[in-house]
Structure 1
Amino acid sequence: MVNVFSVPIFFIVFRETLEASIIVSVLLSLVEQIVHEDTSRAVSLITDEKREDGRPPELAVGEPGSPEVSPPELLSEQDALLAKKRLIKKMRIQIFAGSGLGLFIALAIGAAFIAVWFTKASDLWAKSEELWEGIFSLVAAVIIFIMGVTMLKMDRAKAKWRVKLQRAFEGKHVGAGANAGRWVLFVLPLITVLREGMEAVVFVGGVSLGQSARSIPLAAVVGLICGVVCGFLIYAFASRTTITIFLVVMTNLILLIGAGLFSKAIGDFQENAFNDLLGADVDDTGGDGPGSYDVRGNVWHIDCCNPENNFDGDGWNIFNAIFGWTNSASIGTVLGYVFYWVAAVAVLIYLKFVEGRTKLLGRESAAGVRRRQRAALQHDSEGGSVDKE
């Protein structure tokens, strides 16, 4: 199964697609909020749309003939509702068009990169397979580590992008190439999806170099579909608490894969050194018995459940891809797996300390001091209001 479906690539594409989907969902919800809740701004946008179509506002069907009428009175209730629906549809088309173009460009670049690697660099792979597998597994483990840690912050993406988009509609600068204007709903999703897509290309490129070429397309497509579906479900139904639980579970799965890849990288380096010592591959048939592994520093070895067995290893290949399972473990691979998790825990504690959500050895970060001061001010203000009552 792992020859046609790469689990690490699935999770990488899923993660990047999910983040892009959340940002696009913020755009869609903000469009409805602006059009329905902010009457003056909605009427202004509707009027601008009519000017773009070449129709003066005062001659629109159902509108008074005088251009001097105040905006809330400019449209009758029924015409205003139809105009709002038409405007929402137009804005949604811009959002989906920008997202689609960004996705197409990212997929084209990613496909070209992977095609060039597997057609031009295959000879390098054949010369030292274990060494290259170890290098690319190590790169993939580091990439997945970074992705897993940052994924926990994704539940705050909605608030961050809502502020950026509101600033864009108010005419303020929000970032590179994303100025306010009539194309803001096209440019913002284009830049956002393209950026997430390029991140996915870099990450998938780093991981795919240690994978079979046949394992990439299906994993990428399934990851893309699952990311879009989960993004839609989060947009439509989920509360922030639900999103947080979901992201914690996904982070644990991603870090499990990363720990397995890190352990596998150490095992590949050790296997390459063992092969160099003997001058040839120890066992080209992929067997389990004596001579197929290095007994020096070996922690356990069982004559079954071998993911590299050419006859019955398909089921264990799945556990190897997801959890890094191997039937032959060394001190290095076991310690690598443990230290990977120790590093993940240490980084998460440090990030929590930097954000001011915990103390470290009795010390408090600058963000923690600010949070405590804000809480004290809020408590004092609430106490003062109660005393006045």
Structure 2
Amino acid sequence: MAKDVFSIPIFFIVFREALEAVIVIAVLLSLVESIVARRTPSMTAPSTVDEKAEPKVDGEQSSSDEKSDEIDEETGLDRQSLVRKLRLQIFLGAGAGLLISLIIGAAFIAVWFTQVRDLFGANEEVWEGVFNLVASILIFVMGLTMLRMDTARERWRIKLERAFAVKTAKADKEGKSVKWLLFTLPFITVLREGLEAVVFIGGVSLGQAATAIPLAAIVGLIVGLTIGFIIYKTSSRVGLSIFLIASTWLLLLIGAGLFSKAVGNFQQDKFNKLVGGDVAEAGTGPGSYSTDGNIWHLNCCSPEDKLSGHGWGVFAGLFGWSNDGSVGTVLAYIFYWWTAIAALVFMKYREGRLGKKKGAA
């Protein structure tokens, strides 16, 4: 099934963390120029002694200008060389952080799917409901925070400038090299983003197949790095804002479906205990579902059908589709969206933008 090959929630989680890590690296790369400018004093500034000295003849003046040009050229080359070295430190730090976070993530997922998941077989519906509930909450948080990614570059610039100023002063006092600061800052930041992604992936993957993780994680990483590079080169926020709004909308659709599905799992577990565990073998016809509080039931279009449910499984993974709807699942779906709307209104109010027009100052 398609949902067992590619997990859309995991794709967006890895994409979001990769994008933020790239934004941090982009900010550090842009700070390198100012760092070098501050630490490489101009060697061509005119001195007051020369101004008061006797006027030079034309030959001496020409020779002085040539020497000044040579000094300018050498200084420019020195600065370019220093910039390249500092940028290399940034990339090395980011690469080391990414490598360690990938190793930790792979180890965590391997242990989870080989050692832990088999413990939940006795109460499959209950545990699947718990997993879907946890995943829906994590996706809710991820979706709302993704909306602020378009301002992340400025926030990280301010944060990193402050952190670098403090650490640079400390390094100067202790005699340490600045290049190690440019290694440790991206290393720690990328490692933190990677571990955060591992935590979110662990929560979302609780109710999914292990085969759905690798491809989604790889594609999310590639897309996040690509879009981050485009942002670094263009400094455009308009296209990014549209993309993030669409991504948040899709994430909330997935989260609402998982929340509704969690309620359905709890209801199905209650029904299974009432009529016996063999009800799962009854197919999708009469007797396979509870009529208590049931709103609709279709004898087709079941995502659980292993023969013809592959297409519906995609809809189930994206939007929480089920051929069986109850009062509880429908109300859960509506409640999730009302909570999302309330959270978005509160965020806008907290930022002081509620009721303001775009053109307002």
Shorter-chain TM-score bucket reads: 0.7 to 0.9
Asked if 1:25 is matched to 2:30, the reply is no
Does residue 1:322 correspond to 2:318, yes or no? Answer: yes
TM-score of the pair, normalised by structure 1: 0.78
What RMSD, in angstroms, separates the aligned Cα atoms of the two structures? 2.6
Q: What is the CA–CA distance in structure 1 between the aligned matches of 2:284 and 2:145, rounded to whole Å?
A: 39
2:284 — aligned with what?
288
In the superposition, the TM-score normalised over structure 2's length comes to 0.84
CA distance in 2, matches of 1:136, 1:7: 16
Provide closer, same or farther for how the CA distance between residues 191 and 20 of structure 1 changes in structure 2, counting only shifts above 3 A: same
Q: Which has the higher contact order (CA 8 A, sep 6+)?
A: 2
Corresponding position: 1:347 with 2:343: yes
Taking structure 1 as reference, are residues 263 and 180 closer, same or farther at Cα in structure 2, changes over 3 Å only? farther
Higher helix share: 2
> For residue 198 of structure 1, what is the aligned residue in structure 2?
195
For 2:69 and 2:103, locate their aligned partners in 1 and report how far apart those are by CA, in whole Å.
47
Q: Deviations over 1:236-285 (max 9, x none)?
A: 22522322222211111111111111111111111111111112141337
Letter in 1 for 2:85: K
What code does the residue aligned with 1:22 have?
I
Q: 2:167, 2:181 within 8 Å by CA — same for their partners in 1?
A: no
Distance 1:180 1:256 in 2: 49
Unaligned runs of at least 5 residues, structure 1 = 47-72, 361-371, 376-389
Of 110, 114, 123, which residue of structure 2 is paired with 1:128?
123
Residue 32 of structure 1 and its aligned partner are, at CA, apart by: 3.9
Q: Distance in 1 between matches of 2:299 and 2:33?
A: 62
Q: Secondary structure at the match of 2:241?
A: helix
Change (3 A) 1:334 1:173: farther
User: What is the Cα deviation at residue 173 of structure 1?
Assistant: 7.7
Matches within 5 A, 1:1-389: 1-32=2-33, 34-35=35-36, 39=37, 41=38, 43=40, 76-171=71-166, 181-284=178-281, 287-358=283-354
Structure 2's unaligned 5+ residue stretches are 44-67, 170-175
* Percent of pairs with identical residues: 56
Report the secondary structure of 2:273's partner residue: helix
CA distance in 2, matches of 1:339, 1:76: 69
Question: Per-residue displacement from partner, 1:97-131 (whole Å, max 9, x unpaired)?
Answer: 11111112212222222222222223322211111
Secondary structure, aligned partner of 1:206: helix
Task: Pick closer, same or farther for the CA change 1:74–1:114 going to 2, 3 Å.
Answer: farther
2:197 partner SS? helix
Deviation of 1:74 (Å): 11
**Matched length:** 327
Structure-2 residue corresponding to 1:387: none
Tell me which structure has the larger Cα radius of gyration.
2
Which has the higher mean CA deviation after the structures are superposed, 179-188 or 202-211?
A: 179-188
User: Are the aligned partners of 1:300 and 1:328 in contact in 2 as well (CA < 8 Å)?
Assistant: yes
Looking at structure 1, the residues matched to 20 and 113 of structure 2 have their Cα atoms a distance apart, in angstroms, of 29
Alignment match, 1:55: none
